[in-house]
Amino acid sequence: MTAASSGSVSSGRTAIQNAALWIGVVFLLIGIAGFIPGITTNYDQMTFAGAESEALLLGVFQVSILHNIVHLLFGVWGLAAARSFSGSRVYLIGGGLIYGLLWIYGLVVDEGTTANFVPLNDADNWLHLGLFVLMVLLGVVLGSENRRPVAAPNE
């Protein structure tokens, strides 16, 4: 009995699909948590967008309604992408690159200005750097051609 037929491989998904799935689930949970008072401090001071939102996810990461929606969308994208090898690769590398751009944006935009529409603080910037590195690394390493599943011969 092979690992795939014994059930030890999650629903026949590849490692990259599992990575996309789990990262998508985490983004969904983060997006939902951003709307829960207590998990998000200063919840009553959350705005739709902009630096004036004083809501802090876990008391650390500055969030707004828009920021939470972006997390939810990244989560849905991850779940959808996990359905295929190539979709998972695009999600991890493409999403990682988007977080890399968001990290750069967070470095150059002044936290107190209207240009900080997401909004972002220093904790967000460090997290975005970590997501950029993690997602791109997973996409490249797990998405290499030698990890692509081999199609079964037609019988």
Tens of pLDDT, residue by residue over 14-63, are 999 999 999 999 999 999 999 999 999 999 999 998 888 899 999 999 99
* CA distance between the termini of the chain: 19
Task: Give helix then strand counts, H and E, for the chain.
Answer: 5, 3
Q: With bands split at pLDDT 50, 70 and 90, how would you rate the model's confidence at 89?
A: very high
Q: With bands split at pLDDT 50, 70 and 90, how would you rate the model's confidence at 12?
A: confident
Q: Nearest CA to 52 among 102, 116, 103?
A: 116
CB 71 within 8 A of CB 25: no
The predicted-structure confidence for 114-155, as pLDDT tens digits, reads as follows 777 878 888 999 999 999 999 999 999 999 866 666 555 554
Q: Is the pTM of this model over 0.85?
A: no
Q: Give the per-residue pLDDT at 154.
A: 58
**Which amino acid does the sequence have at 19?**
A
> What average pLDDT does this structure show over 66-76?
95
Q: Is the peptide bond before 37 cis (omega within 30 degrees of 0)?
A: no
